[in-house]
Structure 1
Amino acid sequence: MNKKIILAAFLTGTLALSSCKTNKTASAKASSETAKSKEKDNGMKPYAKVITKDATTDEGLFKVHQLDDKYYYEIPNNTLKKDMLLVSRIAQIPSNLGGGYMNAGSKTNEQVVAWERFQDKILLKVKSFSEVSLDSAAAIGNSVKVNNYEPTLYAFDILALNPDSTAIVIDVTKFFSSDIPALSGLSSGLRSSYKVRNLDSDRSFINSIKSFPENVEVKQDFTYNASEPPSNGSVGSISLQMNQSMILLPKEPMMPRLNDPRVGFFTVDQIDYSSKALKADEKTYIRRWRLEPKDPEAYARGELVEPVKPIVYYLDPGTPENLKEYIKQGIEDWQIPFEAAGFKNAIIAKDAPTMEEDPEFSPEDIRYSVVRYVASTTRNAVGPSVSDPRSGEIIESDIIWYHNHLRSYRNRYLLETGAANPSARTLDTAPEEIGEMMRQVIAHEVGHALGFPHNMAASFAYNVEDYRDGDFTQENGIAASLMDYARYNYIAQPGDENIRFVRQMGPYDAYAVNWGYRVIPGATTPEAEVETLNKWIMEKAGDPKYKFGRQSSSFDPQSQTEAIGNDPVKASSYGIKNLKYVAENLPDWTSESTNDYDDLEELYGEMLGVWSRYVGHVVTNVGGVNEDLKKPNQSGTVYSNVDKQTQKESVDWLVDNVFETPEWLIDPAIVQNIDYAGYAETMRALQERHLTNLLSLDRIGRLLNAETVATDYYSAVDLFDDTRKGVFQPNGKLDIYQRNLQRAFVDHMSSLMTGEMRRGRSGGYYDVNQSDVRSIVRGELKTLQSTVRSKMRGTSDTITRFHYDDLLSRIDMILNPEK
């Protein structure tokens, strides 16, 4: 080829390449100018004009920039539309806010949010997973979306893009310093109670914002102007510190586990519109931590394996040193039940790191689960948790222990076990015994945080006489589950030896942990697990130690709070026998030791409550319905009425122990040293409470319903007849307690003639006007008229005759209201 031609071709190519580069540079410049022009048109500024060199930056999930008192989020584009959990908690609280049942660490709101871009704004959207389309390809998913439009919590102007346009800068100062109800620690009820007028902006500010790899933590100081604050009334305001935790939820939710009501778990619900069922299919998943074995193969072989990420609880830095040992034991007591599920060291207790060890540590940081020790006079402990609503995965939890709860346990220990337990007969309970009680309470609350609700049937698993057997109680405790409200062994009698009086873990706890937490190899969907989960239940079906009883079953004598043993009449008889011994000795154990009546007064009041609980356990037998949760392939029915003989015996017991005045409760050695009057009123209120409970509309309704399913039953007529005879059996002169109780009976008859059954859960209400209630009450009142007239003729005591005459007038007004 001619060299000139080659040279010309080379020059032409070079010029073309140069022209191409020039055009690209010009194009990029033009594009940049267009972007800048667009930013300007949308109110955006250059990044360096917003986030200046004076800004302090904290790297993490978002970059958080601070300039003087302004805070900016630099939100990466790749986090937009991702699900995040926003949890609002009280970090510091004024005295007595919420009546003492709120504290530092109390959660006030929990919601899933996502950041979304709309034109020149960033929207913070609140998301719900209660109604979903689990089949992403199903066409109905669009209908679910448009019929469940997600509300916008806040809209932010986009101030700038970062230099490479991969992140958006917004100002969050106003958002976190305004009175936004979703972030506020004051509910509408509290605002009304304390007459809150408004947020005082001059005394409210952002305390700090810290960014971590998966979460951002915000602390705000809020002061509200209030006319009636809970404390420091002269200030006329309420100040509290809030903590907002925003954590990125896992991209792939944990595989959920379908709930089975025969095993007790807290749950999350979803309505799946993409289900193949001919309806919107409600799915209920259990709430649980994500535990995955480090060595899946060894786990599948049945070996104990540590989890990839154990559950870790830190102790509040404010925890008294002498109690730390017991709190740690209470947490790690759950290691044994987790071994039943194949995990070792699944749950661990640690001291909170010191400032030197970790200056970033905060109990409010959602990355940490903490046992909070609250300096409060409230007597309580709770175990709340935060979970992913998409799957039920528990993300974090805080156990709350209120300082004065120790007092509750000392008092109940003395009252319920003092007769049979000499070490409980003191106001200065031994530290190791208090520690053991605290250990079990902490373990109970940790159980809630692991996903377990109360199992009120667990204490019904054991025979009453077993509680007097030292070997049995040492091995089995006082309930088949720590999650029952069975605190103490109040059945054991003086002279019984080697008795365990305090609750402990039981066989149900290991069973429930295995059912909820064991990884089922090969199961890749919740539905694929069901066969195995059902098999585990059926293996234990019929054994009362593995039964779950719902706390809401107020009609079921098998599932009662604070009860122990499988025979309420026998258990309460033992309990009251012990309580009589305690009442006789209470002054010696209190005022004689302290030369002060304060403890006597406090314990006497609580003793009345203990007696009342024992009585209530027997009342539940009457009109009682046993609830035994089961599937159709199991024999027997879910609901069965308590047998007639047990109900009759229960009413007779109530007549003997409640309606015949329990005068031992009004011991002059006690009452005349703690109050100048009111003894008769105290007894009246106690007797009336149980009388009206026994003759309540819902109980009568269940007795009426029994006629439809049984041939030999304790009827509503039987109940009224036995109760009336018990209340009106005394002859001759009546004392003030008997007169009060009889008036209470007649007054309650009046309320039954006009009362309406309130709406309750399915089957729990009925039309009283169209039922037999009014006719039974009318018949009872007419019978009572004859009884009262006869008794009136048989007494010469003036006050008793006045009383009977008054009763006749009251009965006449009920039967003839228009006279």
Structure 2
Amino acid sequence: MTKYIFFIVLAGLLASNGSHAQLPAKTDKAVTTPTVESAPADEPKPFDKFFKPAMKVTPGVFPVYQDGNKYFLELSAALLNSDVLILGDVARGYASNISRSSGVVRFSLGSGNVLNVTRAVYKEASSPDFNGGIEELVQKSNLEPVSFVVPIIALGKTKGSYLVDITKQLMDGGDFFSFKEVSSLSSPDPSRSSVQKVTAAGDAVVFSVLRTQTVPGQSVNGSKPIDRAMAYVLNLVIQRLPSRPMPVREADARIGFNNVNYNDFGKSPYGVRNVKVITKWNLEPKSADYKKYASGKLVDPLKPIQVFIDPATPTVFVPYLKKAVEQWNVAFRAAGFSNALVIASGNQENWLSYGKILINWGNASRGTVTNTVVDPRTGEILAGKINIDVNVSDELLASYFAKCGFKDPRIMKDLYNPEVRGEIMEWKVAQGLGELLGMVPNLRGSAAYTISQLRSGSWLNAHSISASVTDDTQFNFVVQPEDQVETRNLMPRVSVYDKMAIGWGYRIFSDRLAEKKATGALKINNAELLFLDENNSDPFTRKGDLSNDHLAASELGMKNIQRYYPQLEQLTAAMAGGDEEWKKFKLIAKAYQISYQLYTDNVLSYIGGKSVRPVLRNYNEQGTVYTPKADQKKAMLLLNTWLFEGAPDWMQSKRMNLLNEESETIKMGKSAQDALRKFITPELLNNLIQAEYALGKAAYTVSDLFDDIDHYIFRDFNTTEPVNDTRMLLQMNFIYDLTAAVKKNDITAGLSESSQVLHLYFIRTMKQLGELAAKHQDAAAREKYQMIKQKIERDFGQKVS
């Protein structure tokens, strides 16, 4: 790791006589707009004039003095000009946020009896690689921005310390603990808010605060609006941070971590270079263990990451959350650490603060919710939080049943089996912990393995269904009834890529060469260790995909739907508790339909598919990989079978048609229309045009796409081909969408390659539509084509020949 000297920047230019051109310092929108509170008219009171015997004192690094409903914080001389963590967290209430005002601040003595508060926005640094004398020059050329000030009320008890009134900061947020981004917490009423508890713990003081406000109601259809009173319990933390910043690890495009960046004046001879460093926790060996660590033996870190599990978590699920933590402890062995994460015992410090991860129970209706607080100097993750509750598992139970539940007798018998719910929570917490450890979701992980590997019990025992638990795939939907696969291999878990990424990100290398050797071992053709950024054009960085062959995987998934969907009424009737109100049937049937849509979407992603890879010396020279023509041709054939031909007979559930407002036919028609609409977007057409430039005749071209649409949708405009209602509706909607796309990409506003091919295809299609309207042998079909022609001419002003 590299040592850096960091500077807080407001504005400043390098000295004009230096070897660098003048560079304006970067600004950051996250900087709090400076606010000025009027200073006290008089000098700060001496401590003996301030202190009252009736005051309640909470001693500690940050002593707190309570005088009735007023709260005063004492800041010692040692705390001035040092880094302090300010953190606001929703402990109870319908929100999962860490306040955006959370972060690193510094207190310094200002003029006029105030303390200046500076929010850390580090945008410039000087590493020791080059330009050794630049540090002093950069330091002299920069000023510290004052974010806001707080009046000094009195001198502190110890020499050089000061007392400030933080009542307003606690009750309604102020500049320290603001939740302005949460509408129901943005304007608390101090008269209905209170500090419930003040606790000193280690280097921190924690305030448990009740904030209450009224949210104005909204009128619905003329009804009288009803205001709502909202209440939240917040944990508000002020904590001293270590004086020695964590050494940084520069980012690498081959391994997915979040990062912070700044301009480094020491990275380039006589120049400046933007540097990205990864976000991570500060783990290091104990001083006595360095030799052991350097020899490759496992050691416990000096300060492990503490993981607190909310005591409100139902007891039945606690073991599964602990298993999720242990999954990552296994990964940390690759970095040389054992017990990197320690599940803390006891509830006395169960709040979010420096060096802690809090697994909070509640407010996870949208799935697990993760939050971190990061030191902008080094990328050090200071604290992290994940929210989870029973909704996370319950929303996935039906999906699990639909995709691979036939391999799990527990859920076939009981949809809400507690063991299955716990295992889903274990997976989701493990996934969320990856983000809290600094990792970016590697959506390429689920495409690492072949179909045969995903159906092999022995392979899955060693590798899981995805190379990374951070990938947002769900369950092993390619497995078949005859496969010998255990239930543990139906869900993702921490796997090969995760271990590699943690090993690189958290290992302390002996020098830069050792670090480069680790990344130099990565090869582009190693599918398990390949990281790719999410890309909407890449079929293999999709959420919900599985295997390196989406076509074969989707066919296997469809086989399972076809096998079990027709049996659903009998299956739910046999479940524990029965299904007299058809709730379970409806829930699982919907999950089958969503799975059907997922498999067709995975196939659809092949059309115009383009994968972007990092180009690095000795790693990869080909920056773009296009989906092979043969795969795109097969994809179109499958889409015709599953979408364009309408809902198959086995998907026509009479029971679902009775329970739902829309039939399977209508839903399938909408899905088919969405797919066809994607085919005529500029993004997809441009991908095909670029592929033709790169591959020539080997590419699946725009012409191939339009020919396939003509063939599968319009039956080659054959005037003798019968047209049923489903196909007629599909043709009509596509022609309307095509006309709208041409209008939107009007060539008079500027000619692009995608708009040109789209207009040429439109002209061709309109001419053939005219032929159908005039010559189709079916009179009813002729009338409908004539109606389409008239509607286009009327609504879009487009003449159809």
TM-score, with structure 1 as normaliser:
0.84
Partner Cα separation in structure 2 for residue 417 and residue 437 of structure 1: 13
Which residue of the partner structure matches residue 505 of structure 2? Answer: 516
Q: Which moved more, 1:282-291 or 1:498-507?
A: 498-507
Match of 2:443 among 449, 456, 480: 456
Which residue of the partner structure matches residue 98 of structure 1? Answer: none
Deviation string 1:276-297 (CA, Å, 9 cap, x unpaired) is 3565421111111222123111
**CA 1:513–1:547: 2 relative to 1, 3 Å:** same
**Partner of 2:490: helix, strand, or coil?**
coil
Which residue of the partner structure matches residue 780 of structure 1? Answer: 761
Which residue of the partner structure matches residue 701 of structure 1? Answer: 686
Match of 2:350 among 362, 370, 374: 362
Partner Cα separation in structure 2 for residue 553 and residue 165 of structure 1: 58
Which residue of the partner structure matches residue 5 of structure 2? Answer: none
**CA 1:46–1:635: 2 relative to 1, 3 Å:** closer
1:259 correspondence with 2:244: no
**CA 1:812–1:65: 2 relative to 1, 3 Å:** same
Opposite residue 784 of structure 1, the aligned amino acid is T
Deviation string 1:732-755 (CA, Å, 9 cap, x unpaired) is 554443233212211221232133
Matches within 5 A, 1:402-441: 402-419=389-406, 423-428=410-415, 430-441=417-428
Which residue of the partner structure matches residue 247 of structure 1? Answer: 239
Deviation of 1:429 after TM superposition, in Å, equals: 5.3
1:213 correspondence with 2:213: no
Partner Cα separation in structure 2 for residue 671 and residue 223 of structure 1: 45
Deviation of 1:40 after TM superposition, in Å, equals: 11
Partner Cα separation in structure 1 for residue 495 and residue 196 of structure 2: 46
RMSD after superposition: 3.1
Q: Which moved more, 1:410-419 or 1:602-611?
A: 602-611
Partner Cα separation in structure 1 for residue 550 and residue 186 of structure 2: 52
**CA 1:754–1:785: 2 relative to 1, 3 Å:** closer
Deviation of 1:565 after TM superposition, in Å, equals: 0.8
Deviation string 1:795-817 (CA, Å, 9 cap, x unpaired) is 4363x444312222244458854
Deviation of 1:256 after TM superposition, in Å, equals: 0.7
Which residue of the partner structure matches residue 559 of structure 1? Answer: 541
**CA 1:433–1:226: 2 relative to 1, 3 Å:** closer
Partner Cα separation in structure 1 for residue 157 and residue 480 of structure 2: 79
Deviation of 1:724 after TM superposition, in Å, equals: 3.0
Contact 2:76/2:161 (8 A) holds in 1:
yes
Which residue of the partner structure matches residue 550 of structure 2? Answer: 568
Which residue of the partner structure matches residue 751 of structure 2? Answer: 770
Opposite residue 150 of structure 1, the aligned amino acid is P
Partner Cα separation in structure 1 for residue 788 and residue 172 of structure 2: 62
Matches within 5 A, 1:115-134: 115-119=107-111, 120-133=113-126
**Partner of 1:150: helix, strand, or coil?**
coil
1:310 correspondence with 2:291: no
**CA 1:338–1:173: 2 relative to 1, 3 Å:** same
**CA 1:308–1:204: 2 relative to 1, 3 Å:** same
**Partner of 1:594: helix, strand, or coil?**
coil
Opposite residue 762 of structure 2, the aligned amino acid is L
**CA 1:300–1:134: 2 relative to 1, 3 Å:** closer
Opposite residue 242 of structure 1, the aligned amino acid is L
Match of 1:168 among 162, 168, 182: 162
Which residue of the partner structure matches residue 152 of structure 1? Answer: 147
Which residue of the partner structure matches residue 4 of structure 1? Answer: none
Q: Which moved more, 1:56-65 or 1:41-50?
A: 41-50
Partner Cα separation in structure 2 for residue 439 and residue 217 of structure 1: 30
Opposite residue 291 of structure 2, the aligned amino acid is E
Partner Cα separation in structure 1 for residue 649 and residue 750 of structure 2: 41
Deviation string 1:702-748 (CA, Å, 9 cap, x unpaired) is 11222332222222222122123211129655444323321221122
Deviation of 1:590 after TM superposition, in Å, equals: 2.5
Matches within 5 A, 1:324-339: 324-339=318-333
1:70 correspondence with 2:70: yes
Which residue of the partner structure matches residue 141 of structure 1? Answer: 138
Opposite residue 370 of structure 1, the aligned amino acid is L
Contact 2:76/2:156 (8 A) holds in 1:
no
Deviation of 1:675 after TM superposition, in Å, equals: 2.2
Contact 1:427/1:589 (8 A) holds in 2:
no
Deviation string 1:206-252 (CA, Å, 9 cap, x unpaired) is 44443333222233333333212899974543332333222222211
Deviation of 1:433 after TM superposition, in Å, equals: 3.5
**CA 1:692–1:680: 2 relative to 1, 3 Å:** same
Q: Which moved more, 1:253-262 or 1:605-614?
A: 605-614
**CA 1:802–1:93: 2 relative to 1, 3 Å:** farther
Partner Cα separation in structure 2 for residue 391 and residue 501 of structure 1: 38
**Partner of 2:608: helix, strand, or coil?**
coil
Contact 2:427/2:492 (8 A) holds in 1:
yes
1:726 correspondence with 2:679: no
Deviation of 1:438 after TM superposition, in Å, equals: 2.4
Opposite residue 152 of structure 1, the aligned amino acid is S
Partner Cα separation in structure 2 for residue 425 and residue 89 of structure 1: 40
Contact 2:88/2:102 (8 A) holds in 1:
yes
Opposite residue 705 of structure 2, the aligned amino acid is L
**Partner of 2:394: helix, strand, or coil?**
helix
**Partner of 1:263: helix, strand, or coil?**
coil
Which residue of the partner structure matches residue 762 of structure 1? Answer: none
Partner Cα separation in structure 1 for residue 187 and residue 417 of structure 2: 50
**CA 1:775–1:476: 2 relative to 1, 3 Å:** same
Matches within 5 A, 1:433-512: 433-499=420-486, 500-512=489-501
**CA 1:670–1:283: 2 relative to 1, 3 Å:** farther
1:183 correspondence with 2:177: yes
**CA 1:419–1:234: 2 relative to 1, 3 Å:** same
Match of 1:625 among 595, 598, 610: 610
Contact 2:682/2:755 (8 A) holds in 1:
no
**Partner of 1:541: helix, strand, or coil?**
coil
Deviation of 1:478 after TM superposition, in Å, equals: 0.9
Opposite residue 514 of structure 1, the aligned amino acid is G
Which residue of the partner structure matches residue 27 of structure 2? Answer: none
Deviation of 1:262 after TM superposition, in Å, equals: 0.1
Deviation of 1:576 after TM superposition, in Å, equals: 1.6
- Give me the identity figure in percent: 21
TM-score, with structure 2 as normaliser:
0.85
1:597 correspondence with 2:589: no
Match of 2:193 among 196, 204, 221: 204
Partner Cα separation in structure 1 for residue 209 and residue 425 of structure 2: 33
Q: Which moved more, 1:576-585 or 1:268-277?
A: 268-277
Partner Cα separation in structure 1 for residue 663 and residue 80 of structure 2: 66
**CA 1:375–1:139: 2 relative to 1, 3 Å:** closer
**Partner of 2:480: helix, strand, or coil?**
coil
Structure 1 unaligned spans of 5+: 1-38, 95-101, 524-528, 758-765
Match of 1:536 among 510, 518, 523: 518
Contact 1:375/1:403 (8 A) holds in 2:
no
Opposite residue 167 of structure 1, the aligned amino acid is S
Q: Which moved more, 1:562-571 or 1:79-88?
A: 79-88
Which residue of the partner structure matches residue 298 of structure 1? Answer: 292
Opposite residue 472 of structure 2, the aligned amino acid is Y
Contact 2:336/2:507 (8 A) holds in 1:
yes
**Partner of 2:103: helix, strand, or coil?**
strand
Partner Cα separation in structure 1 for residue 333 and residue 355 of structure 2: 25
Partner Cα separation in structure 1 for residue 694 and residue 520 of structure 2: 27
1:348 correspondence with 2:330: no
